[in-house]
Amino acid sequence: MSVIFYVKNRKKLLGLHKKDILTVGDSLKIYENIQQFSYTAEEIEEQPDILNMSLEKVHLVLGEKVKSFRGFELHYEKEEESYSIRIMTPSTRQDWLIGLEYIRLLALYLDSGIEVETGKKYNPADIKNYPFLKNIELGIEAFKEVIRDFKNVEKDDVSNSSLYSEEIVHQIGINQRPVCLSKEMVEKILYSENRIEEYEKTVYNISNIDAEDAIQSFYKNEKENKIFGSYIFIPDSKKVYPYKPYVEVQNDKFIKQEEVDYWLLHVMTLNKNNEYTLLGTLDYDLFIKYLPKNKYRFIDGVYILVEPFTEYEIKYFYGEYINKI
């Protein structure tokens, strides 16, 4: 669910032709603190022309780091000759306030009015009065339908194939790692005295956690003619890993879950030159199975926070793992 706002691309002076369609770079100049979350810094460094890409060719995710959870989506609709701004349901109050302010500034820049997909019209001065709290409540209420048929399963029984299993309410935000609300988390939100506050506290605690996300990579084993996914495990690093690995959103345009034959974990240590070297490779599922319980905790229904291992602890853990298999 979502709400879409339209801002018309007004004609230039004398009505001769429309203003040039904004580019990705232009869109970042409308609002002083706005950032885009559709492309990584590495992607822009490798392909600087991304900033010159027309908004007609991309659905750009915008927001403010830390303040935004889901952000909002900006796109140019050629047939409508309008910019569409899509705010997801539910989003946080900060998402809405930032999104509405961006809509206001865009309308002022284009000297244009604002129209909601329902047909209701606003001008830049009164768009702040849009009743977004009702939309947040509506989105949270819809969680009831999502969890109605949830099954009581153990974490070990959760499907290995998908983030989008029926036991999880997934919320795609500005971060590449989605927030995956378990049945228990959703019920706590639904039965809270203040649903909106509980929802916001939950999603911000998960999305803004003080740890890096483990990066997944994919390779082909030419000898076996199989594709495998992998993660790296290094000493003295607090990271977020999936309890059950799957092809994450940022990679599913390159490879599909059913194409991945197995998952591995590459264990690294530091050599005398303070460089990372490969200690060994573990089966990912067995890595999770033998991971000490005091070294990790679930942050949501899919991801775990793994506490730092010292160099000694990593070598000991790897040695114990080898002995167990």
State the greatest distance between any 2 C-alpha atoms of the chain, in Å, as a whole number: 80
64 and 131 together in one domain: yes
Which residue positions in the chain have pLDDT lower than 70? 11-19, 149-166, 323-325
Which token pair is 22? 């904004």
Claim to verify: residue 29 and residue 101 sit in the same structural domain: yes
SS3 of residue 180 by DSSP: strand
Please state, in angstroms and rounded to a whole number, the distance separating the CA atoms of residues 254 and 207: 24
E runs forming strands in the chain: 2-8, 35-36, 60-63, 72-77, 82-88, 114-116, 121-122, 169-171, 179-181, 212-213, 217-221, 226-233, 239-242, 262-270, 276-283, 296-298, 303-306
Same-domain status, 194 and 294: no
* Residue 198, C-beta contacts closer than 8 angstroms, at least 6 positions apart: 188, 189, 192
19 lies in the same domain as 104: yes
- Residue 199 and residue 95 in contact, taking contact as beta carbons nearer than 8 Å: no
Q: Can you tell me which residue has the tokens 């999104």? A: 99
Evaluate the omega torsion of the peptide bond into residue 90 and state whether it is cis, within 30 degrees of 0. yes
Same domain, residue pair 118 and 7: yes
Quote the CA–CA distance of 87 and 219 in Å, as a whole number. 36
Domain boundary among 207, 230, 253: 207
Please tell me whether residues 201 and 218 are part of one structural domain: no
Q: Quick one: which of 85, 72, 78 has its CA closest to 114?
A: 85
Q: What is the pLDDT of residue 155?
A: 44
The structure's pTM equals: 0.84
Q: Kindly calculate the radius of gyration of the chain based on its CA atoms and give it in whole angstroms.
A: 23
Give me the pLDDT at residue 152, please. 45
Question: Are 132 and 16 part of one and the same domain?
Answer: yes
**How far is residue 68's CA from residue 135's CA, in Å, rounded to a whole number?**
17
What is the domain extent for residue 253? 212-324
Tell me the backbone φ, ψ of residue 254, rounded to 5 degrees.
-105, -30
Residue 146 is predicted with a pLDDT of 77
Pairing verdict, β 121-122 and 114-116: antiparallel
Collapsing DSSP to helix, strand or coil, 20 comes out as: coil
What is the structure's pLDDT at 325? 60
pLDDT of residue 156: 45
Do 174 and 223 sit in the same domain of this protein? no
Q: Are residues 16 and 105 in the same domain?
A: yes
Choosing from 182, 207, 232, the residue where a domain stops is 207
Tokens standing for residue 15: 């009505």
What integer pLDDT is reported at residue 158 of this predicted model?
A: 40
Residue 206 makes CB contacts below 8 A (sequence gap 6+) with 179, 299, 300, 303
Is 176 found in the same domain as 83? no
Strands 262-270 and 226-233: parallel
Question: What is the rounded CA–CA span in Å between residue 9 and residue 113?
Answer: 10
Domain end position, chosen among 174, 207, 240 = 207
Q: How many domains does the chain have?
A: 3
* Judgement on whether residues 6 and 133 belong to the same structural domain of the protein: yes
Judge contact between 179 and 203, C-beta under 8 A.
Answer: yes
- The answer on 196 and 221 residing in a single domain is no
Q: What pLDDT score does 279 carry?
A: 93
